[in-house]
Each structure stands twice: as C-alpha cells, then as structure tokens.
C-alpha cells in the first residue's frame, strides 16, 4: 500500500478534508478523499463551541485521533499546534499521536497560546526554539513514514522573506513537509513554491474568508503544492445547514418540511455500518438475532 510520503511525491496534490470526530472522518472517507486533516480549530469549534485560540488540550486531540483511527483507514494529518509545550512535550506529543494512529503531525512556530493562522496579533518563537522542537519530534517518531510537518506563521509578523528563511531552516532540520501559513496573495504563494518547492512537499491551507486566495486543488497542484487542506470548511457548511434546519423545526414544530433534505433513521444507520456490526455480532453470539435489525434497514 502506498504511504502518504510516497503519495505526496507525485502529482496531483492530495486534498485533505478537515474532520473533527469519528463520524466526520467516516463521511470524508466515504466521499472518496485520500486523507483527513484533523483540525485543531475544528475540534475547538465543534467540541468546545469556542474559537481556535489554543483552548484544545493535548489529551483531547489524542482521544479524537484514536477514535478516528478505530473507525477509518485513511491517513490522518494531525494539527498538533505548538506541540503543547517545550521539546520534551513535543516528544511526548509525537509518540502518543503516532501510537494513536496519526500519519502526519503538524507543529507550528507560534508562541503559546496559539491563534488560528488567519487571525491577527500572532507571535512566533525564536527560530532556534522551533528547530529544537523539530529535532525532538524527528527523534521521537517510531517510523520515518510518520511525517513531521513544520508550519511557520511568520508572514504576519515579519513578512514573507522572514517566513521563507524560517521555512528553509526547517527543511535543513529534516521536516518532511513545509507549511507557510497565510500567504496574502497569489504572488506570495508562487514565491513560497519558488523558494521551497524543489526541496520538500508544500502544504496550502484554504480558509474561506481568510487571508490566502482560495484556489482549487488542481490550481494548487499546478502551482507546485503537494497537499491542500480544507481544514474547517465542513463545519462552516454545517453551521449554515444546522441553523436552517433548526429554524425550520422551531417554526414548524416538526421535521416534516425538512424530510427530503435529511437522513432518516435507516439512512443514518446505513452510513455508520449497522448491518455489518450486527452480522459480526451474530458470528460470535448465536442468541444475537441479526435478521430483524438487518431487515429494518431495507
């Protein structure tokens, strides 16, 4: 089976949809994507009801990754924020996320508590500190197939040239993928590729309403990016759809007006695999009646 490292080495770019729990990861897999981006922002939005301001704990991320890995086989690209501490914390972060099922682990050079890459008033740690974290992460991983993604947020603080200088240092340190966050124009995206694209796979983050121009995966691939993430787009779509559904339910007192735009009980159980679980249970327990549950699905 092709590893994520091998897949990133060839065209076209990989498009990873952002997931935040086992169900979202399952739907992403069923939709035919090649990878799931486990979004720290997505976890904050959906499970804390809060913005991406460094509120999600390390243990919470590990738990989400483990639940996703139990359910799906796709590569999991995990947003590990700043590594949740110093170099020693980074090593523990890498070990536990890798054990939980992460395929790639993303570390950034922001100070803690971090902010979403498309928010203002960010700050970054000294280059030497980030390099120490990267070396610690690379030493901690059990397999070279577990990729370490190095992200810099320096464009917003020190400008494009400083961000490219940092990224080049991250390449020299051995990062497997480089993520220069929040380029402000197509010209800056092209400059990122020109400076770094011959050395390492590059990640582009598409955020609706963010700082970076929104391009399709094909356009990003043609520019020279190897990985495109749509980190929280699913949530932005879901919030809109959820608000419409709740307005309908409240005003009508029933789900009937919305019935054609939602799954029914059978449809949801089909998505999450009731039939296969019932059949598996029946293999081990003769008293477990599979027929009624399966017939109810049809």
pLDDT tens digits, 134-149: 999 999 999 999 999 9
pLDDT for the residue numbered 113: 73
Among 290, 153, 288, residue whose Cα is nearest residue 212:
153
Could you tell me the pLDDT band of residue 122, with boundaries at 50, 70 and 90? confident
Residue 239's contacts (CB-CB under 8 Å, 6 or more residues apart) are: none
Domain 4-231 is found in CATH 3.40.50.300: no
Flag whether pLDDT at 118 surpasses 90: no
Structure tokens at 117: 């890459």
Q: What is the pLDDT of residues 24-79, one digit of tens each?
A: 999 999 999 999 999 999 999 999 999 988 899 999 999 999 999 999 999 999 99
**97, 62 contact by CB (below 8 A):** yes
Rounded Cα–Cα distance for residues 94 and 100 (Å):
10
d(CA 239, CA 237): 6
For residues 99 and 104, what is the distance between their CA atoms, to the nearest angstrom? 12
Strands (E), 131-263: 147-152, 177-180, 202-205, 227-230
Give 261-292 pLDDT, tens digit per residue: 999 999 999 999 999 998 888 888 876 665 55
Q: What percent of the chain is predicted at pLDDT more than 70?
A: 94
- For the chain, the structural domain boundaries read 4-231, 263-298
Each residue of 125-144: b (16+ CB within 10 Å) or e?
A: bebeebbbbbbbbbebbeee
Which tens digit of pLDDT belongs to each residue from 200-255? 999 999 999 889 999 999 999 999 999 999 999 999 999 999 999 999 999 999 99
């Amino acid at each position: 089976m092709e590893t994520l490292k091998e897949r990133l080495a060839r065209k076209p770019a990989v498009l990873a949809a952002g997931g935040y729990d086992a169900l979202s990861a399952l739907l992403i897999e069923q939709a035919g994507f090649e990878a799931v981006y486990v979004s720290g922002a997505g976890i904050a939005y959906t499970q804390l009801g809060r913005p991406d301001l460094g509120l999600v704990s390390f243990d919470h991320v590990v738990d989400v990754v483990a639940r996703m890995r139990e359910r799906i086989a796709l590569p999991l690209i995990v947003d590990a924020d700043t590594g949740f501490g110093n170099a020693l914390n980074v090593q523990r972060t890498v070990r536990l996320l890798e054990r939980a099922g992460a395929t790639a682990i993303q570390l950034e050079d922001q100070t803690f508590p971090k902010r979403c890459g498309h928010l203002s008033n960010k700050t970054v740690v000294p280059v030497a500190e980030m390099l120490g974290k990267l070396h610690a992460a690379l030493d901690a991983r059990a397999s070279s197939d577990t990729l370490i993604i190095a992200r810099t947020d320096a464009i917003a603080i020190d400008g494009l040239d400083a961000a490219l200088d940092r990224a080049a240092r991250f390449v020299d340190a051995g990062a497997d993928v480089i993520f220069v966050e929040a380029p402000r124009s197509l010209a800056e995206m092209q400059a990122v590729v020109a400076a770094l694209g011959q050395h390492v796979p590059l990640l582009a983050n598409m955020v609706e309403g963010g700082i970076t121009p929104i391009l399709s995966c094909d356009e990003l691939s043609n520019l020279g990016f190897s990985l495109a993430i749509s980190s929280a787009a699913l949530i932005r779509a879901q919030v809109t759809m959820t608000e419409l559904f709740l307005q309908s339910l409240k005003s009508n007192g029933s789900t009937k007006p919305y019935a054609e735009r939602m799954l029914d009980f059978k449809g949801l159980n089909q998505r999450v695999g009731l039939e296969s679980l019932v059949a598996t249970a029946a293999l081990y327990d003769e008293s477990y009646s599979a027929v009624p549950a399966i017939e109810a699905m049809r």
